[in-house]
Structure 1
């Protein structure tokens, strides 16, 4: 690889981590064997590395084995607002690979969408971050220099990394676009990379990744009859040959004839058991499309390997047998294809084999009992590891470094064999290192991998507590990256940990379980008193929180109820938590639960926010045991569904409650009156914000500014406060592609942690406020960031129309026909704002109009005691951008509404009866009067007075619909209104075509029944 190309890769990696240009020729990239030996012997010193950097050579070219974890590297200035700092947990289904073994112990594993190079000697990580989707497969080159990772998701990528520097050197985009990558493997000389797709019809591609081409050298689709291929391997002696395995087939591939061909053998279960060590099997071969199949003892093929000396392929089965497939000599050397045939079946062990690999002229197996066996080429046992008491083995990876020696179990005439240390991982995510000379295992870590939903940070110390659904609760010191204390809840009633929280003093740790149980633990020992283990519901605990004075504890469960506990203090005994009461205060799931304090008081207050759009406050002061009282219950949204809430920091004289919604809006409500005081455009990164938290003020924060972290379905973000709708003040990155379940901030505001739910990981992100402020400044000052949100910008047609409408409103307010001298002004009265909004294509409801007017009217009341009655153009632009729908009104919204409101029993398409449509308009939501309905339809249908009279003035709504009116819509509106009729004939929109099919549209972020909801809660 040329120096300029490598430097170009490094620059893009540091700036975006999204696109990587292909590297140069492989000869310039690969190191010679002498260079590698020099590095292993320690000849490439750090001073030489620094010298190369000074001369301008690339980091990849100059990197050595020790480069990645050098101790004297200075602290790098963070260029991103959120930088991934540590990964807690791993993907237990993917292998753990040994990268280094002698001078320092370095391994590779994966978690979520990142790869982790972990140095056990220094307890440090280097994170390979660049995928958008979860990593589905990983492989390394023979020399452990190059790492390949592939993912599954909408933006499929295969990335190749330099393990010495941690820099990505090549990326294949959309190489398997259907459903990602299932398996991959390097050739022995590392020049080729082969991948198998994970789609319904799998495809195999062979890539020459050392050249700049983005197309594979060879590709072929696999017949689905051969099953899902999930194991892949190059022949170490011939790059023209590969093999793959599924549950019931083994496939051989060859490129010897200039194209990729494959042949397969079907493996089926046989009713007879093997009676001897060597059994003959049917010598029948099945080619693609053939009806022939081979029957053999054993079930589903698992993993297969090439013999290092003989022309054979060996397959391990799930019943402990090894099947040897003889291959003719011509097939092996690649001259032409001959049919492989089964030579024998070996019953080597009783336990199902989960790992089958080759190392230094030895076959190695791992099984479901946690046993590891070494065999020679005749499958005579050389070594057994049965004393480790492991569970099922997932992977075995041998060290690159090796030594010669004798194995104790070898026969007297045995020759010295190569002994390598190895890394073993199990299904329980236990990873340990085995010294082959001493047979001493060393546990590297136990990840206790299970879905994680519970996460909380200590309010005063560098501790983060993580709880998973297996009942494991760990308290980590996130500075030292070590576990401080741990507890396992074995009881079935107390196994699924759903949420945890510390009290503000850090003395208590409350844990909520999926069974409805609540435990209050000592935060230092994780022990609990039996009287402080509560179980007042069978519904899963979803939210849990303490009051600011640590005297109250509240939970919200899946039963839509809130439960409150109170700390009871007696002079005769130590304080104990007691049950206060439970109230089913919502008719839909509770979205958030929050304690606060009353204004000018220290009295705690408790609020809950529901999917039913209600904000409920509880009367803690007057509540008694078994009688939790409600103080107020108010509906705060019309159509949007609230997602979460938090207390807005003291940036003004008023106290505000911040609430986010599924319509990408953030609203500030007065904490006392519950009046909506401000509506703001929220982050629009694919999904609405579903949890927020104000970052604690840190000592390093020189500006004394406030910041907020938030999470969406798959991203974590950072926001500058105060909120104003400026998109450049927000930054977000993908944190858990399969879904983020929780977040927590460290007490010093330096780190934010995210839990990935099903991906079994917790990620630690370092916050860089300087990088966030720098990015925000690039958006410009004043209104420059807002002009970008207007179609065409400030110089566009829409902005010119906005100006013209604004000044036209001034003229209309003063009177169009007035002869008096006009008062020149840059403002319009608030009464003109609704008309101006509608002229620009945004049609707010009456409640939204009231919210807009209140926002402007009370904007300065707390400071000046006066109302604001007018608004200038700049303020109006901000008001318009923040209040209008984030993505407009789409055709999908109308399609969904018709499927909910319409009747499709008589026709294929949902339709609304005319009387039903008029009834909905006059009774539901914000009811329209009869005259307003008539006026709207007259305008939409362009009915003149003569046409109205001609439609039949004798037929009124009172006659046809039971209403009192002189105007009839019977002739203008058909008896049955379909979606096409409503959009094309009435509204005048283009036809939606096939969108009106009988199949219902996909559901939105919330259930369909919340789109039109009556006051029935």
Structure 2
């Protein structure tokens, strides 16, 4: 149903790898939890999907055929890919105790990989990935005093040696064979006193080819540390093959921090914070450099694979530069790709010194995306102050704007005809741009906090914004064709979760609503507002305990006009858009976290907007699709991991074919194609009518719970007819509506009075729009749906009870306890009000004094009831006691 079509942006913390050879021009880079093979010559992506967390590192074999990618976090793994087919050939699951890796390296011949764990203490593991084994060949722990090792690489000609380093310690590792011995580790000492000058922080380390067996480490002060094997000193001295190293000398090669160190042919290559790339021989003599690349701090340099390339066989017609030696020989190296910290990727063709910009992406959080309503354009804004408009069909940039002082872009929105673009900044500034040229047309700075939401009305007469100070601002496009400030109102006392414009069906005028974390839905009186006087039309409290998260106008798939609101209890609620009455509660998607973002997918061109409609949604880290109308059937919904770090925004293309998600701090935007036929097939496989709902009952259709439900259902018929009646019983397939609360409680779901009212209204008005009549009965099938949709998605959590006692109580022997009298007072005053009679009836019934649960004539001996409660409940009540003795639960 959802297929990842394209990814905009990249992970600047993971350097790109040049996979180009004589047959292809391809680079590999990471974006969120996917790796991408990008043919920059033909503008084609091949997406490598398989990780559940953001990719943290990757490396390739010398021939560029095999690539290993790793991530860190729960469910982490290392995957080895064939770069020609894009097929994963091996996966190591739950690597390093399911903590993942911070760095890895693949041996030049692709037989082994070495991984650095994300655990503490850190572990180094050597793997032979060509064998189907979940266990490494060798592993060794790293002492915490060596700090977090963040870089690892193999010796270029000897798989039995590799090196790792942190900012303060270089570790050399060696192993003999898979059958004998373990990893040996050497930690040579080096401090500023060794050479009487500052060394700096280590960045990367490389080996130099035999026979020197030396190693170089780049530092933050522009130095290169030369590591030399310790010399044999007799019987107890080292051997020729020893990996014991000592710091031989410290060579100053640059006045800038060296951030990258690698090799090509017989040359040493450095990258620095100034964006320069330099080449040295093995004696660290400068051979040549590239300092006009006009890029930021270099994080990686990767060379094209060309085994036939030889510097001494360059034709005379070449355009290679001369090197920096006195002899001025031709400087010929393979073409290479440079990655930078500012998310730039360039390719340097050394024959002619041609520099090509492949990427210039956002280098900070991307929290703003909007799709044009008339063109295949996607606007992306970031905290780096960059606003970029993509043609998502051609996959090309249309126009880019960089705001002054790198103002952080937080939200964007197109108007109804796609000619204007509103941009909200973290500073509270609102800018209105021409959507084609991105030239500023108006700006307003009334807010002092971040603009979290912005939206145009359907006719573009109004622009509304919500900010971090819980305030809504409205701007109006007047008769003079100019945007002007209308007014502001702080209608919420907590975060504004969502802001949405709708259309009044009678007058075709815009309606503005905001949804707050304070559980309040506010509608504004736009037509009655004047300059500096924004008026409210209604303020409705829509939830008791759940937190509303998002709001969307329900499409015309029903005769009644609805608002759909998702909450953190995994429920979707439909509210009448006029009366704000809760008309239906439905079980929402339950994929790990509740729905936080929603957007109705626009209908395809030339189709009936009342049929085949979809709702796109996002949870914490997933994106999903839901068939409309909503009915609580879990098989009508699907989801997939989108951004492991969290989905921050969601939008849909104007033709209803694509969904776009952005991951905030992962600085990437995913473009998902929609396959509605596939989704309907998935829904059909789940069964029709009540079959999907039977599966949500414990034990299913043939389980014990369904049997109990049937018994309760028919007992409710007896109850409504009178338990003491002597006349013949009239069996029916329905029960009276007033029996629904009792049935719910008998099944272990204890709704509040407000929830009972919502349930009864849902059934009562279910046919009112069609027939104008109320419904006063419910059949078994409808009751099952009602029960499943209203009950808690995951039952009552013991953590909720413990948390409540932690908040209300005081510590008593390690457990939180609440004074008995205070507890009884809280139960009466807080939440829905209970009279003393109601509380006494409930508690005495729960404690077993009145097991029938009722009182004759509604009278009670309060003195006797109080005495019973004092005997049953101690002076201080703990969570465990309350759960076991009163609620009958086990914590």
- Select 1:547's aligned residue among 457, 465, 469: 457
Q: Aligned in 2, Cα 1:460/1:902: closer, same or farther, shift over 3 Å?
A: same
Question: Structure 2: how far apart are the matches of 1:502 and 1:250?
Answer: 53
Question: Counterpart in 2 of 1:801?
Answer: 708
Secondary structure of 1:802's counterpart equals: helix
Q: Following superposition of structure 1 onto structure 2, how do residues 545-694 of structure 1 map, counting pairs within 5 Å?
A: 545-570=455-480, 575-694=481-600
- Select 2:849's aligned residue among 943, 964, 967: 943
Q: Which deviations, in whole Å up to 9, do the C-alpha atoms of 1:725-780 show, x marking residues without a partner?
A: 00010010110000110011000001110011010111111111111111111101
Question: Structure 1: how far apart are the matches of 2:624 and 2:466?
Answer: 26
Q: Aligned in 2, Cα 1:333/1:743: closer, same or farther, shift over 3 Å?
A: farther
Shift of 1:389: 2.7
Q: Which deviations, in whole Å up to 9, do the C-alpha atoms of 1:334-362 show, x marking residues without a partner?
A: 98646322222222222221111111111
Task: Say if 2:17 is the partner of 1:107.
Answer: no
Q: Following superposition of structure 1 onto structure 2, how do residues 45-64 of structure 1 map, counting pairs within 5 Å?
A: none
Contact 1:404 1:416 in 2 (8 A): no
Contact 1:248 1:268 in 2 (8 A): no
- Select 2:763's aligned residue among 841, 851, 856: 856
Question: Counterpart in 1 of 2:615?
Answer: 708
Contact 2:455 2:499 in 1 (8 A): yes
Question: Counterpart in 1 of 2:379?
Answer: 465
Contact 1:664 1:689 in 2 (8 A): yes
Question: Counterpart in 1 of 2:317?
Answer: none
Secondary structure of 2:97's counterpart equals: coil
Task: Say if 2:886 is the partner of 1:972.
Answer: no
Question: Structure 2: how far apart are the matches of 1:966 and 1:844?
Answer: 26
Task: Say if 2:455 is the partner of 1:526.
Answer: no
Secondary structure of 1:910's counterpart equals: strand
Task: Say if 2:828 is the partner of 1:922.
Answer: yes
Question: Counterpart in 2 of 1:1007?
Answer: none
Question: Counterpart in 2 of 1:505?
Answer: 417
Q: Aligned in 2, Cα 1:954/1:520: closer, same or farther, shift over 3 Å?
A: closer
- Select 1:828's aligned residue among 735, 739, 744: 735
Secondary structure of 1:713's counterpart equals: coil
Q: Aligned in 2, Cα 1:692/1:433: closer, same or farther, shift over 3 Å?
A: same
Secondary structure of 1:244's counterpart equals: strand
Q: Following superposition of structure 1 onto structure 2, how do residues 374-389 of structure 1 map, counting pairs within 5 Å?
A: 374-389=279-294
Contact 2:322 2:330 in 1 (8 A): no
Q: Which deviations, in whole Å up to 9, do the C-alpha atoms of 1:80-102 show, x marking residues without a partner?
A: x1111111111111111110144
Question: Counterpart in 1 of 2:350?
Answer: 436
Question: Counterpart in 1 of 2:315?
Answer: none
Task: Say if 2:259 is the partner of 1:354.
Answer: yes
- Select 1:484's aligned residue among 386, 398, 421: 398
Question: Structure 2: how far apart are the matches of 1:264 and 1:942?
Answer: 70
Question: Counterpart in 1 of 2:204?
Answer: 303
Question: Counterpart in 2 of 1:46?
Answer: none
Secondary structure of 1:419's counterpart equals: coil
Question: Counterpart in 1 of 2:604?
Answer: 698
Q: Following superposition of structure 1 onto structure 2, how do residues 195-594 of structure 1 map, counting pairs within 5 Å?
A: 195-256=115-176, 258-270=181-193, 297-309=198-210, 310-327=212-229, 337=242, 339-401=244-306, 403-405=309-311, 408-409=322-323, 411=325, 419-491=333-405, 495-529=407-441, 532-570=442-480, 575-594=481-500
Secondary structure of 1:754's counterpart equals: strand
Contact 2:75 2:98 in 1 (8 A): no
Q: Which deviations, in whole Å up to 9, do the C-alpha atoms of 1:610-644 show, x marking residues without a partner?
A: 11111111111111111111111111111111101
Question: Structure 2: how far apart are the matches of 1:394 and 1:889?
Answer: 50
- TM-score, normalised relative to structure 2: 0.94
Shift of 1:413: 6.5
Contact 1:254 1:334 in 2 (8 A): no
Contact 2:195 2:250 in 1 (8 A): no
Secondary structure of 1:266's counterpart equals: coil
- Select 1:738's aligned residue among 628, 645, 649: 645
Task: Say if 2:812 is the partner of 1:889.
Answer: no
Contact 2:411 2:425 in 1 (8 A): yes
Q: Which ranges of structure 1 fall in alignment gaps of 5 or more residues?
A: 1-80, 275-296, 946-952, 959-964, 993-1017
Question: Structure 2: how far apart are the matches of 1:134 and 1:711?
Answer: 17
Shift of 1:822: 2.1
Q: Aligned in 2, Cα 1:133/1:249: closer, same or farther, shift over 3 Å?
A: same
Shift of 1:597: 1.8
Q: Which deviations, in whole Å up to 9, do the C-alpha atoms of 1:890-933 show, x marking residues without a partner?
A: 100101111222234x7643221222111112222111111111
Shift of 1:104: 3.7
Shift of 1:816: 3.1
Which 10-residue stretch deviates more, 851-860 or 254-263?
A: 254-263
Q: Which deviations, in whole Å up to 9, do the C-alpha atoms of 1:378-406 show, x marking residues without a partner?
A: 22221111122322100000110253336
Contact 1:330 1:337 in 2 (8 A): no
Question: Structure 2: how far apart are the matches of 1:742 and 1:339?
Answer: 52
Number of matched pairs: 867
Secondary structure of 2:254's counterpart equals: coil
Question: Structure 2: how far apart are the matches of 1:613 and 1:411?
Answer: 73
Q: Aligned in 2, Cα 1:971/1:942: closer, same or farther, shift over 3 Å?
A: same
Question: Counterpart in 2 of 1:142?
Answer: 62
Q: Following superposition of structure 1 onto structure 2, how do residues 890-909 of structure 1 map, counting pairs within 5 Å?
A: 890-904=797-811, 908-909=814-815
Question: Structure 2: how far apart are the matches of 1:752 and 1:935?
Answer: 53
Q: Which deviations, in whole Å up to 9, do the C-alpha atoms of 1:397-438 show, x marking residues without a partner?
A: 011025333661265769887621111011111111111121
Secondary structure of 1:449's counterpart equals: coil
Contact 1:955 1:968 in 2 (8 A): no
Question: Structure 2: how far apart are the matches of 1:754 and 1:665?
Answer: 22
Q: Aligned in 2, Cα 1:211/1:329: closer, same or farther, shift over 3 Å?
A: farther
Question: Structure 2: how far apart are the matches of 1:177 and 1:479?
Answer: 42
Question: Structure 1: how far apart are the matches of 2:366 and 2:258?
Answer: 30
Secondary structure of 2:357's counterpart equals: strand
Secondary structure of 1:591's counterpart equals: strand
Shift of 1:221: 1.0
Q: Aligned in 2, Cα 1:944/1:542: closer, same or farther, shift over 3 Å?
A: closer
Contact 1:112 1:135 in 2 (8 A): yes
Question: Structure 1: how far apart are the matches of 2:23 and 2:204?
Answer: 32
Q: Aligned in 2, Cα 1:326/1:854: closer, same or farther, shift over 3 Å?
A: same
Secondary structure of 1:265's counterpart equals: coil
Question: Structure 2: how far apart are the matches of 1:700 and 1:84?
Answer: 26
Contact 2:57 2:69 in 1 (8 A): yes
Question: Structure 1: how far apart are the matches of 2:860 and 2:766?
Answer: 52
Question: Structure 2: how far apart are the matches of 1:957 and 1:564?
Answer: 59
Question: Structure 2: how far apart are the matches of 1:417 and 1:240?
Answer: 33
Q: Aligned in 2, Cα 1:322/1:966: closer, same or farther, shift over 3 Å?
A: closer
Q: Which deviations, in whole Å up to 9, do the C-alpha atoms of 1:98-151 show, x marking residues without a partner?
A: 101445421001011010110011101011111000100000111101110000
Contact 1:178 1:198 in 2 (8 A): no
Contact 1:267 1:300 in 2 (8 A): no
Secondary structure of 1:970's counterpart equals: helix
Contact 2:276 2:290 in 1 (8 A): yes
Secondary structure of 1:238's counterpart equals: coil
Secondary structure of 1:533's counterpart equals: strand
- TM-score, normalised relative to structure 1: 0.83
